[in-house]
Amino acid sequence: MAELTGSTSERRGTAVPQPTINQFLIWGGIFAVGVIVLFFISHWVNQLNLFPESWNLGLRNVLNEFKRWVVVNRNSNWLFVFFFEPLSAVIDFLLRRIEDFLLWLPWPVVVLAVFVAADRIRGLRLALLTALCLLPMGMFGLWEESMQTLSLMVTAVLFSLVIGVPLGIWSAQNDRVEQILRPILDAMQTMPAYVYLIPVLLFFGVARVPSIIATVIYALPPAIRLTSLGLRSVPEDAIEAAQAFGSTERQILRKVRLPLALPTIMVGVNQTIMMALSIVVIASLIGAGGLGDVVLKALRRLQVGSALEAGLAIVLMAVLLDRVTAGLSQIERHSEPLFQGFRLFSEKRRGNRVVEGIEQSIDGLYKAGRAGADWLTGQLKSVGKGNGRFLDKYADAVIIILTLVVLSLLLRLLGVHQFPRGLRLNISQPVDALVKWMQVNLYDIGGSGIGTGPLRDFLIIRVFQPLTHFLAVQLPWIVVAFFFVYLAFMADGWKLALVVWALMMAIGFIGMWPFAMDTLGQTLVAVIICVVLGIPLGIWASHSDRADRAIRPILDFLQTIPIFVYLVPVIMLFGTGSVAGLIASVLYAAVPVIRLTNAGIRGVDETLKESAAAFGSTWWQTLAKVEIPIAFPSVMLGINQTIMMVLAMVIIAGLVGATGLGLEVYQGFANDNLGRSVEAGLAIVLLAIVIDRITQKMAHKASLAANVA
């Protein structure tokens, strides 16, 4: 089997020298000797055991003093008077106008407008889905909060696209710009969303404007990256043909590059919207309002029912925005008659009389609407004789807008504005009652020692506390730093090792070493659980189409839910604390390792599997010696993404009492201690960069070893 994989690798490209057993033993011995020596030295030199407090740079006091200076000079310093304040005023003006408009519109008009837009984008099924997503927001009594969140989203996404798309175009046309932007975008995507709130809080204060700015910064990378990728992926033949017809660069960009790159750009818009929704909810910590504020206040009061209602509203908004923007990326495909079938049911139901009868009735309604629109277009042409060409081109849009305007005015006159209380669906009370029942009956089922209580106690007493104590107290800090430096050296040599050493030392210099070790311990536990569960599920899905079809919608749902919402159902079972954060982290972060394990194994060349079977390999031997080694780079990339997502989620868990850096950031916000929040946030970034760079280099090294890089 080794000969089989080796010969195949040689055919695919130049083989990368693999470490021999002797080299492995030598480097393993160096690591073991280094750990033992550092252990002994740290017992003699106290500064190498517990990170000395005297080495703290005192960044907290400096930042708090700077904050006091900002408060005193905000109204007089030129930087605030001529830049921050005007920028804040522009953003606030736009946000208030959008919010006032959405709140002014009667709720049926909002539902109808979204329904019509979705129908024109992707058809009746998407239109009905959007309506079903909007109605529960009002039924839960959260219509106003939902419109506030939507206005935050619209404002943030508009700014993100206005900045991101031009930068993506510039990046696609200039390799030097691409090289400059790439590390900046890498750093922006490495940082947990939580961290973006800290710097904007300093310069813009506590309100919705800093929430918008933090959201724009967080959501920019996908807009820039995918715009650049889409434009760079345009076939050269199309560009050369346009040049042959005498088109200028601007004409080629506007009429060739952008239209062909539009599907990829729309994927970037979709990701920008989903990332913006994620951080808009988190931004409720600094006064963003909306649904995130409802969730946050409910979690603080342990009102799980109210938190669940707001959480479901956030999920529904995420589903709505995700499906609509995904439909936009395929709008051209949908407009082709080849892909138009039944409006409501699947084409597989064709031949069913009931289904065909319903479809004919729906089609009749559409034809009646079309006839009415044509009549109204004729009336408008007769009134505005000079606008016939404009109406021919934009008749449908004009009629839809006029209809919505007239309907809005009519409903406002009739007093139909707010969502009717008669349609209120209160699930908070039964959910609170269910939570109380679960807390009593599932804590220790029948005195068997099995239940949420024993599991929580086991994880806290037997896992978290010993691991945190071991990393932060028993294990000398120099050994932890040496471990990461050693991994960095093995992954990419001395250059990365020196960078990792500097970053680890920086965590100690800002006084966050014990809290970072606490967070690291929680991250390790969550990642191990994700890997232990995710890789077998990915393997299963890669070998079974039925399993893949069953798992895929669950993974799609888990990826759609904003990060904030994962805490709500977990608290129902396990209460607040580190265990709730751990379980939420596993649910949130297991998705990439499952998906990429599945994709990596499915991407293995079929001829390799057939050759292995021809050599008499069993299913297990083929998996262990062919599929996993070749798919290992993809698996490593999934583990990298899982680690970063776990780290982000562990931070969010600080909102519900989980210890570590997340709690430090949150308490800094709550106690108006900016220095504390910045120190903890900076430690999060440093730890994230260390882990991200090491795992990325390991994945790249595995790709080279497998000749797939």
* Least confident stretch, 5-9, 269-273, 297-301, 535-539: 5-9
Residue 486 pLDDT class (50, 70, 90 cuts): very high
Residue 535 in this model has a pLDDT that exceeds 90: yes
pLDDT of 113 reads: 93
Question: Which tokens belong to 509?
Answer: 């210099």
Instruction: Annotate 481-504 with DSSP letters as a single string.
Output: HHHHHHHHHHHH-HHHHHHHHHHH
* Least confident stretch, 141-145, 338-342, 465-469: 338-342
Residue 21 in this model has a pLDDT that exceeds 70: no
pLDDT of 504 reads: 94
Is residue 299 a contact partner of residue 655, using CB atoms and an 8 Å limit? yes
Give the residue, 3 or 255, on which the prediction is more confident.
Answer: 255
- Give the chain's mean pLDDT: 82
As a whole number, mean pLDDT of residues 313-330 equals: 83
Is residue 148 a contact partner of residue 287, using CB atoms and an 8 Å limit? no
As a whole number, mean pLDDT of residues 418-445 equals: 84
Sorted by sequence, the CB contacts under 8 Å of residue 511 that are 6+ apart come out as 53, 56, 57, 59, 60, 679
**Residue 443: phi, psi to the nearest 5?**
-65, -45
pLDDT of 192 reads: 65
**How far apart are alpha carbons 624 and 631 in whole angstroms?**
11
Identify the sign of the CA torsion 74, 78, 79, 81: positive
Is residue 555 a contact partner of residue 593, using CB atoms and an 8 Å limit? no
Write down the pTM of the prediction: 0.78
Place of tokens 């299913």: 619
Residue 111 in this model has a pLDDT that exceeds 90: yes
Question: Which tokens belong to 369?
Answer: 């609407």
Residue 500 in this model has a pLDDT that exceeds 80: yes
Instruction: Identify the CA nearest to 277 among candidates 654, 556, 559, 681.
Output: 559
pLDDT in tens, 114-127: 999 998 888 888 89
pLDDT of 637 reads: 82
The percentage of the chain sitting over the pLDDT mark of 70, rounded to a whole number, equals: 91
Sort 434 into a burial class: Cβ within 10 Å, 0-12 / 13-18 / 19+.
Answer: middle
pLDDT in tens, 49-97: 888 888 998 888 888 888 888 888 888 888 888 888 888 889 889 989 9
* Least confident stretch, 218-227, 258-267, 440-449: 440-449
Looking at the chain, the number of H-run helices and the number of E-run strands are 33, 0
pLDDT in tens, 250-307: 888 888 888 888 888 888 888 888 878 777 667 777 777 788 888 888 877 778 888 8
Residue 38 in this model has a pLDDT that exceeds 80: yes
Instruction: Identify the CA nearest to 196 among candidates 268, 269, 276, 87.
Output: 276
Buried residues in 67-85 as b, exposed as e (16+ CB within 10 A): beebeeebeeeeebeeebe
pLDDT of 341 reads: 67
The percentage of the chain sitting over the pLDDT mark of 90, rounded to a whole number, equals: 16
Instruction: Identify the CA nearest to 167 among candidates 211, 210, 222, 209.
Output: 222
Half-sphere exposure of 92 (CA within 13 A, CB side): 13
Question: Which tokens belong to 664?
Answer: 């430090």
Place of tokens 């690798």: 9
pLDDT of 6 reads: 43
Domains parsed from the chain with CATH numbers: 2-67+452-705 (1.10.3720.10), 77-338 (1.10.3720.10), 359-423 (no CATH)
Question: Which tokens belong to 97?
Answer: 């106008």
Residue 18 in this model has a pLDDT that exceeds 80: no
The count of residues in the chain is 709
pLDDT in tens, 631-681: 888 888 888 888 888 887 766 777 777 788 888 887 887 777 888 888 888
pLDDT of 391 reads: 67
The four Cα atoms 54, 55, 61, 66 give a dihedral, to 10 degrees, of 150
pLDDT of 143 reads: 92
pLDDT in tens, 553-610: 888 888 777 777 777 778 777 877 788 888 888 888 899 999 999 988 988 888 888 8
Q: Which pairs with CB-CB distance under 8 Å and at least 24 residues apart come from 31-35?
A: 31/486, 34/482, 34/486, 35/479, 35/482, 35/483
Half-sphere exposure of 260 (CA within 13 A, CB side): 17
Place of tokens 């297990």: 620
Question: Which tokens belong to 442?
Answer: 């599932």
Alpha helices in 205-303 (DSSP H): 208-232, 236-244, 249-252, 258-282, 290-300
Is residue 329 a contact partner of residue 263, using CB atoms and an 8 Å limit? yes
Question: Which tokens belong to 567?
Answer: 């805490």
As a whole number, mean pLDDT of residues 511-515 equals: 92
**How far apart are alpha carbons 148 and 630 in whole angstroms?**
48
Residue 385 pLDDT class (50, 70, 90 cuts): low
Residue 329 pLDDT class (50, 70, 90 cuts): low
pLDDT of 255 reads: 85
Give the residue, 421 or 107, on which the prediction is more confident.
Answer: 107
Give the residue, 11 or 201, on which the prediction is more confident.
Answer: 201
Residue 2 in this model has a pLDDT that exceeds 70: no
